[in-house]
Amino acid sequence: MGLSEPLRIIGDGGDLPDCQVPDGLGEKELLELYRWLIILRTFDERAVMLQRQGRVGTYPLYWGEEGTTAGALYACEDSDWVFPSYRQNSVGILRGLPVATVLGWVRGYGGPAGFYNPRDYRLGPICVPIATHLPHATGVAWAAKIKGDRTASLAWFGDGATSEGDFHEGLNFASVFRTATVFFCTNNQWAISTPVTRQMATRTVAEKAAAYGIPGIRIDGFDPLACWKATKDALERGRNDEGPTLIEAFCYRLKPHGTADDPSLYRDETEAQKWMHLEPVARMGGFLRRLSILDDDQDDELRREAKEMIAEGVRGLESVEQPGPEVMFDHVYASDNPWTFIEGLEEVNSVARKPEVAPPQGPTPPSTGDAEPLPEGE
């Protein structure tokens, strides 16, 4: 599968030519989207370091897929609801969610140290089970339609998610009830060790859209502008009551599935190197330089700001105390706690509490990116 087929706007600075910047993206917008990419990249690299240091738990990397998250989100209105899988774990920080909350979640914290109010950010909870958040995205846009709002919704998921029943149920309901929902599939060709050829016998994810009578758009998933453009168009169709769209952002998982994964057990890692020149951060940086709207000083400044933003989040994380046992019980019910909770709390409070156990320090994965070592205490 060549890259000439999917929608692509940014070239690779070599044989692949650049295309016209889509309408709606001026210099300011392009720089802002680039800033988002830098923030996501910085978070991801820092999170991997924190895991190596035993300061957060197992962490699912997204290095190389920042464009699918930032590009799609940038196309959304602020009032549109987005539903992340764990691969978009940090997307909330682009909508004002504290970095420390996301890191708290990765550190295994519940309650306000790791959870948030979805309505504050129009952001579903980080969804761990595969594809189960797709019907939720459908439901939100459906409710908006019933209420007469223009709110749309978007859900991110991977190629493996297309094998789940909830993928079908989400898309089927959305198409039958014509909800303004964007189903954004990041096809990175790997579900931990399972290649995409074990997920589906179809050639593409996009062609599955035919089963729902909706558009299926295939784009270069390493191209943030293609992600933006396809999402923007899909949202417009949705708001015009033309129903949902399935987007397949075709790319390659450049890094391990997570910090506990060792891809050398199941794939030839030289394959990842063949795709590396397309990774979205350097690619968009090069594009902006070719357009003369970014120079090295600006780039350095954006990276410095992002590092400070994430560092502040790390400091925030370190300042949070391990949640007490009451967070296990808090808010399981919105109504009064059942009597079993009162007895449970009494029991747990009647014994001495063990000190917080540091998350297991994972084995250093073989290819976790080029993050700088993190100074102790930062």
Partner 1 sequence: MAELTMVESLNKALHEAFSTDERVVLLGEDVAKTGGVFRVTAGLLNEYGGERVIDTPLSEAGIVGSAVGLSLYGLLPVVEIQFDGFVYPALEQIIVHVARYGWRTNGECPANMVIRIPFGGGVRAPELHSDSPEALLVHTPGLKVVCPTTPSDARAMLLAAIAHPDPVIFMEPKRIYRAGRQEVPDDMPFDLTTTNGAASSLLSTARVARTGDDLVIFAYGATVPLSAEAADKLQADGRGSARVIDLRSLYPLDVDAIVKHSVECGRAMVVHEAPRTAGLGAEVSSLIHERAMLDLEAPVGRVTGFDVPFPQFANEDDYLPSVERITRGAEKVLDF
Which of 69, 85, 88, 138 touches partner 1 by CB under 8 A?
138
242 binds partner 1 (CB under 8 A): no
316 binds partner 1 (CB under 8 A): no
Between 31 and 345, CB nearer to partner 1: 345
Q: Which of 83, 93, 86 is nearest to 39 (CA)?
A: 93
CB-CB neighbours of 82 under 10 Å: 27
Q: Exactly one of 52, 87, 133, 257 is catalytic; which is it?
A: 257
Rounded CA gap, 42 and 311, in Å? Answer: 10
The residue to which tokens 């016209």 are assigned: 20
Between 147 and 203, CB nearer to partner 1: 147
Of the ranges 42-50, 58-66, 69-77, 118-126, which one interacts with partner 1 (CB under 8 A)? 118-126
Of the ranges 14-22, 34-42, 131-139, 253-261, which one interacts with partner 1 (CB under 8 A)? 131-139
163 binds partner 1 (CB under 8 A): no
Question: Catalytic residue at 253?
Answer: yes
Which of 332, 351, 352, 357 touches partner 1 by CB under 8 A?
332
Q: Which of residues 95-114 bind partner 1 (CB under 8 A)?
A: 110-112
Which of 146, 192, 276, 291 touches partner 1 by CB under 8 A?
146
Q: Which two tokens stand for residue 159?
A: 């190629």
At 182 the three-state DSSP class reads: strand
Between 1 and 128, CB nearer to partner 1: 128
132 binds partner 1 (CB under 8 A): yes
Could you tell me if 156 and 85 are in contact, meaning their C-beta atoms sit under 8 angstroms apart?
A: yes
Q: In angstroms, give the least distance from the CB of 305 to partner 1.
A: 29
Q: In angstroms, give the least distance from the CB of 332 to partner 1.
A: 5
**Which residues face 370 on adjacent strands?**
none
The residue to which tokens 């409710």 are assigned: 143
150 binds partner 1 (CB under 8 A): no
Helix residue ranges per DSSP H, the chain: 27-52, 66-75, 99-106, 118-121, 134-147, 165-176, 224-239, 270-275, 280-290, 296-319, 326-329, 339-349
The residue to which tokens 């350095």 are assigned: 300
141 binds partner 1 (CB under 8 A): yes
Q: Which of residues 72-91 bind partner 1 (CB under 8 A)?
A: 81
Question: Catalytic residue at 55?
Answer: no
Which of 292, 340, 372, 375 touches partner 1 by CB under 8 A?
340
Burial (0-12, 13-18, 19+ Cβ within 10 Å), 265: exposed
Q: In angstroms, give the least distance from the CB of 145 to partner 1.
A: 8
Q: Which two tokens stand for residue 213?
A: 């009578």
350 binds partner 1 (CB under 8 A): no
166 binds partner 1 (CB under 8 A): yes
DSSP string spanning 1-25?
A: --TTSSB--S--SSSSPP-PPPTT-
Q: What are the C-alpha distances in Å from 241 to residues 182, 199, 238, 260, 294?
A: 13, 31, 5, 43, 38
Q: In angstroms, give the least distance from the CB of 180 to partner 1.
A: 12
162 binds partner 1 (CB under 8 A): no
At 165 the three-state DSSP class reads: helix
Q: Which of residues 168-207 bind partner 1 (CB under 8 A)?
A: 169-170, 172-173, 176
Give φ, ψ of 320 to 5 degrees. Answer: -90, 135
Q: What are the C-alpha distances in Å from 85 to residues 77, 117, 125, 193?
A: 20, 16, 8, 18
Q: In angstroms, give the least distance from the CB of 373 to partner 1.
A: 34
Question: Catalytic residue at 290?
Answer: no
Instruction: Indicate which residues carry an active-site annotation.
Output: 253, 257, 266
Residues at the interface with partner 1 (CB under 8 A): 81, 110-112, 115-120, 124-125, 129, 132, 134-144, 146-147, 151, 153, 165-166, 169-170, 172-173, 176, 330-335, 338-340
